[in-house]
Amino acid sequence: MKFIRNTAKSLSIRRGIRSFFWPLSGLYGLVTLARNALYEAGWMRSERAPLFSVGVGNLTVGGTGKTPMVEYLIRRYAHTHRLATLSRGYGRATRGFRLADATSTARELGDEPLQYYLKFGEKVQVAVCEDRLLGAQRLHALFPALNLLLLDDAYQHRALQTDVTILLSDYRRPFYEDEPFPTGRLRETRGGARRADAVVVTKCPGTLSEAEQEMIKEKISQYTSPGTPVFFSSVTYAEPRTLAGEVPAKVPSVVVVAGIAQPEPFLQYARARFSVIEELIFPDHHNYSAPDKERLRKYVKSDTFVLTTEKDMVKLREGESTSGLGSHWLYVPIETDFGNDTQRFDAWLQNVIKVPSLPDRPRR
C-alpha cells in the first residue's frame, strides 16, 4: 500500500508540473506556428541549396536515430554520387563553416560529424555550419562536382529549402503523442509533419505486427500531407570493436559509458550480452574531460573493458590509442535496418532523388 500511495503521489506531482508548464508550451507552439506561417507565406526567405539536398530531421528533441539514418543514406549513395554531409555541429567549441580533415577533433566539429568523417571520409565531404544555406553554398564553391547533399538535423532550419525531407519518429516516443516544449519534447507543433516527404518510424521492435504498423500509419496520417509514405526501421548492433577496429576474442566484463539522448536501448543491449560491472550515464553530447577519462582508465584491467557507443568513442578515443589501453576501449557500431521495408524504402529514394548517378565511379 505504501508503494501505491508513493506512486500516486509521484503521478500527482508530475501532473502538477505539466499543468504549470502548459501555458508556456502553448505559447511556444504558437511562436513556432507563426514562424512556419511566415516561411510558408514568403515573408521569411527560404532558398534551395545549389545542389540537390536531402534533409533528415525530427520534431522531437534528441534520440530519434538521425545519425544512423544519415549513415544509411551515405552507404546507399557514396559509390554512385558525389556526396557531402552538412551538420550544425552541435556541442562544438567553434563557429562558422568548417570542413573535416585528418586533424579534426570532436571539439572542432561536434561528435556526429566527426563520426561521419572517421567512417566515410574517403567517400564523402563532411562539413559543419550553423547557417545551413551558407554551408551548402560554401561546399558547392569548394567542390563544384558535388551533386548530392545530406543535411543532418535541419528540419527546423527553414532558411534552407530541401529537395527531399525525411522525418524521423521514435517508436517509443512518437511525435503524435507528444507536446511542444516545455510540457513535452517537441521542437514545434505536430502539424510540422506536413512538411515531410516521408516519415520513418525508428527503433521499432522486431515483433512489430502489420496491424500495429497500420495503426501507427493512421495516427501519423492525421498530421502529414495526403499520400506521405511511412516506413518502419530498427537498430542493429554490430560486434564491439577496439579503437583499432578489431573484434576482441573475449569480453568477460564491461563498464558501460554513454552520453546519448536515449541510452536505455544501448544499456539493454549491453546487459543482455555482457557482465556489466557499472553503468556511467552522461548527458547527450557530453564532452569528456581529462578527469572523466582518468576515472574510466581505472576500470580497465585484463578482464574488464570500457564499452561505449560509437558517438561517444569519437570523443573518448583522443589520446587513448597511445595510452597502451586502446585494446580495452570498445565501441558498438549501429546501423539502421529497414527489414521488410528495405525494398520499398529504396524504391522511394530512387523515385524522389532526382540526381544522375555516376556509374563509372570506381568503388573503393
Q: How far is CA 245 from CA 91, 100, 123, 240, 310, in A?
A: 26, 21, 19, 9, 11
Number of structural domains found in the chain: 2
Whether 322 is covered by a domain: the verdict is yes
Q: What is the CATH number of the domain that holds 124?
A: 3.40.50.300
Torsions phi, psi of 118, nearest 5? -65, -30
Of 232, 256, 234, 214, nearest to 336 (Cα)?
234
Whether 292 is covered by a domain: the verdict is yes
Contacts of 26 (CB under 8 A, 6+ apart): 180
27: number of Cβ within 10 Å? 11
Q: Answer yes or no: do 230 and 250 share one domain.
A: no
Q: Answer yes or no: do 295 and 205 share one domain.
A: no
321: number of Cβ within 10 Å? 14
Q: Answer yes or no: do 201 and 283 share one domain.
A: no
- H/E stretch holding 308 reads strand 304-309
How far apart are the two ends of the chain, measured CA to CA in Å?
Answer: 65
Give the structural domain span for 163.
47-235+338-352
Q: Answer yes or no: do 254 and 122 share one domain.
A: no
Q: Answer yes or no: do 200 and 256 share one domain.
A: no
Q: Answer yes or no: do 324 and 273 share one domain.
A: yes
pLDDT tens for 119-141 read: 999 899 999 999 999 999 999 99
Looking from the CA of 121 toward its CB, the CA atoms found within 13 Å total: 13
pLDDT tens for 41-79 read: 889 888 999 999 999 999 998 789 999 999 999 999 999
Q: Answer yes or no: do 197 and 58 share one domain.
A: yes
Contacts of 131 (CB under 8 A, 6+ apart): 159
Q: Answer yes or no: do 267 and 130 share one domain.
A: no
Whether 291 is covered by a domain: the verdict is yes
Whether 225 is covered by a domain: the verdict is yes
Whether 16 is covered by a domain: the verdict is no
Q: Answer yes or no: do 272 and 216 share one domain.
A: no
Whether 4 is covered by a domain: the verdict is no
Bridging pattern class, strands 160-161 and 47-48: parallel
Q: Answer yes or no: do 198 and 88 share one domain.
A: yes
Binding site residue list: 60-67
- pLDDT above 70: residue 358: no
Q: Answer yes or no: do 318 and 345 share one domain.
A: no
Whether 36 is covered by a domain: the verdict is no
Q: Answer yes or no: do 218 and 300 share one domain.
A: no
pLDDT tens for 269-317 read: 999 999 999 999 999 888 888 888 888 888 887 788 899 999 999 888 8
- As beta bridge partners, residue 254 has 276, 305
Picking from 50-54, 81-85, 177-181, 232-236, which range would have the lowest pLDDT averaged per residue?
Answer: 177-181
Whether 54 is covered by a domain: the verdict is yes
Q: What is the CATH number of the domain that holds 255?
A: 3.40.50
pLDDT for the residue 287? 86
What is the Cα–Cα distance from 39 to 27, expressed in whole angstroms?
19
pLDDT for the residue 3? 36
Binding site residue list for ATP: 60-67
- As beta bridge partners, residue 186 has 60, 180
What is the Cα–Cα distance from 246 to 269, expressed in whole angstroms?
20
Bridging pattern class, strands 253-258 and 304-309: parallel
208: number of Cβ within 10 Å? 16
